Structure 1
C-alpha cells in the first residue's frame, strides 16, 4: 500500500544524471525481450538483483552480459529506450541523462552509429508523444576495450554532439573497473573535452584506483561517477579530496547500486554522508534501476530515512542536481522555474509527511553473501 511518504517522493521533481540504458530495463520490458528470444533460455533471475540479494562487482557485470544478449537489434534498442524514458517520467523525473556504450552486432546489422541514432530517435519519439521529461544522452566508453576503441567512440560522440540538436551532451567512462587503466584513455578523454563534450567519469569504484583517479582529476572531469574510495576514511587520500573540492566536481551517488554491488557495506556507511556533510555537490542517482530493482524516488527516500534529511533538505538536494547537469544554461533556467512553480504544491500537499522516519522496508537486512550466483557468460 502506498504511503504518504511514497507519494511525496514520487511527486518530488527529480533529476537523474547517472542511468545506464541497458541496466535500467524494467521487469515489464525484460518480459517483452525474453519473449522475443525464447531460444536464449534467459530467466528474470539472471537480469536483476532482488531485495535482500547482494553480488560482487564481477557478478554484476555478468548480469549486463546477459542483458546485452537480449538487446542486440535496432528494434530492441528503440523499445528499451522508450520504455526507460517513460518509466523515469512516471517516477517524477523531469530531466534525464541516459548513457550507453554503442555496440556492433553483425548478426542483426546493428552498428555503433545506428545504435546512437536509435537512442536519439527514441528520445525524439518520447518528446513527440508528450512525455513530461527532458532527455539528453552521454555516449559511453567501455574502459576494457582499450584506447583505439575509446578514440573511435569519442569521435562518434563528437559527430553526434554537432548533429543531434543538443541531445548528445557528453561522454561517459565506465565498464569493469578491474580491467584496463584510465591513463591509456587520456588522449580520447582530452579530445572529448577539447571539442566541447562534457565528461562524466566513473572513478575510484574500487580501492586500487588511487593513481588513476589522480590522473583523471587532472583533466578534470565535469562529474564523478560513484567516487566510492576517494576519501581517506575508506582508503582514498586527502589529495584526492582536495582536488575534487577545489574544482567543485559534483558526485553522482547511487546508494542501492553500491550496497547491492558490495562496494559499500551498508546504507548508513555510504559515502553520501561524507560529502553531504561537507556541503559538496552530490546528486542521487539510480545507476541501473532495472538490475538493482530501484527507482529514483526510492533512492531519495533511502537517503532521507538513512541520513535524517528533512523535506527541505530533500528539496534542496533535488534542485541542486539541476546545476550539476550538462543541460544548456537556458534549460537549467527553465528547470529552476519548474521547481519554483512545483515547490508550494508538492510541499504543502504533504505537511504531515515525515520523510526521515525508519523505512525498514526500503533497506532490509542483507545477507553476508549473494544467494544467487551467475556463471561467466561470453558476449
Structure 2
C-alpha cells in the first residue's frame, strides 16, 4: 500500500531534465532484452546498482558498457526508448528531456543517424498513443571520443534540430569526467552555441576540475549537470560560483546518482543544500533511473525528507523546473497551465 506521502509525490507533476536513455532502462525492460539475447550471459546484477549498494564512478561507467551490449539494434532502441518514456509518464513526469550519445553498431548495421531517428520515432509513437508526457531530445557528446567526434556530433545535432520538427532541442556533454580535457571540446561547443542549440554540460563531477569548469563556464552553458565540486565548501571556488550565479545557470541535481557513484558521502551533504539555500535555480533529476534503481518521485521525496522541505516548497521546485527546460515558450506556457489545473487535485 502506498502511503499518503508516496501518493503526493507520485501525483506531483514533474519535469525531468537530466535522463540518460541507456541509464534509464528499467529492470522490466532489461528482462525483455536479456530474454532476446541469452547468448550474452548478462545478469541483472550487472545492469543496475541496487538499494544500499555503491560503486566508484569508473564502475558506474562499466554498467553502461554492459547495457550497450544489450541495446544494439533499431528494434532494441525503439523498445527501450518507448518503455522509458512510458515509465516516466507513469511516474507523473509531464515533460521529459532524454539524452543519449548516437552510436553505430557494425554487427546490426545501426548508424548514428538511424540511432537518433529511432529515438525520435519512439517519441512520435508515444505522442500518437496520447501518453501524457511531452518529450524532447538532447544529442550527447561523449567526451571520451575526442574533439573530432564531438564536432561530428554537433553537426548531427544541428541537422536534427532543423529537421525534427522541434524534437531535438539541444546538446549534452557527458561521459567519463576523468577522460580528456574540456578545452579540446570548446570549438565544437562554440559551434553548437552559435547554431542555436541549447547546451547542458556535465561540470565539476569530480574534484580538481577547476580549470576545466572555469573554461566551460565562459561559454556559458544553458544548464549544468551535477556541478558537484563547484562551490568552495567542497574544493571549488567562489569565482566559479560567481560565474554560475551571474549567468543564472540552472543546475541539474541527482541525489541518488551522486550517492551511489560516491561523489557525495551522504544525502545530507549533497550540494542541493548549498544551491537551494542560495536561492539558485536547481532542478531535481534522476540521471539514470534504471542503473541507480530510483525514479523522480523518489528523488523529490528524498530531497524533501533530507532537507525539511514542505509540500508547498516541493511544488514550487517542480513548477520552476518548467522555466529551466529547453522547451519552446508556447510549450512552457501549456505546462504552467497544466500545473495550475492539477494543483487542487494534488493538494486535496
Given the two structures, how large is their TM-score scaled by the length of structure 2?
Answer: 1.00
Deviation of the 1:61 alpha carbon: 0.3
Question: Alignment partner of 1:317: what SS?
Answer: helix
2:255 alignment partner in structure 1: 255
1:335-372 C-alpha deviation (Å, 9 max, x unpaired): 00100111111112xxxxxxxxxxxxxxxxxxxxxxxx
Cα deviation, 1:252-305, whole Å, max 9, x if unaligned, reads 000000000000000000000000001000000000000000000000000000
Superposed CA deviations along residues 32-71 of structure 1, whole A, max 9, x for unmatched, are 0011111110000000000010000000000000000000
**1:145 paired to 2:155:** no
Runs of 4+, deviation exceeding 6 Å: none
Instruction: Find the counterpart in structure 2 of residue 313 from structure 1.
Output: 313
> Offset at 1:73?
0.4
Q: Does 1:280 align with 2:262?
A: no
Question: How do 1:145-294 residues align onto structure 2 when only pairs under 5 Å count?
Answer: 145-294=145-294
| Aligned ranges 1:29-108 → 2 under 5 Å | 29-108=29-108
- Mapped partners of 2:40, 2:208: distance in 1: 36
1:362-377 matched pairs, under 5 angstroms: none
Corresponding residue of 1:301: 301
| DSSP-derived class of the 1:207 partner | coil
Report the aligned-residue RMSD: 0.4
Q: How many angstroms does 1:208 deviate by?
A: 1.5
| 1:54-108 deviation per Cα after TM superposition (whole angstroms, max 9, x unaligned) | 0000000000000000000000000000000000000000000000000010110
- The answer for unaligned runs of 5 or more in structure 1 is 349-379
Give the distance between the partners of 1:266 and 1:254, measured in 2 at CA: 13
Query: What is residue 354 of structure 1 aligned with on the other side?
Result: none
The 3-state SS of whatever aligns with 1:206 is coil
- Distance in 1 (CA, whole Å) between partners of 2:317 and 2:180 is 34
* 2:134 pairs with 1:134: yes
**With structure 1 as the length reference, what TM-score do the two structures score?**
0.92
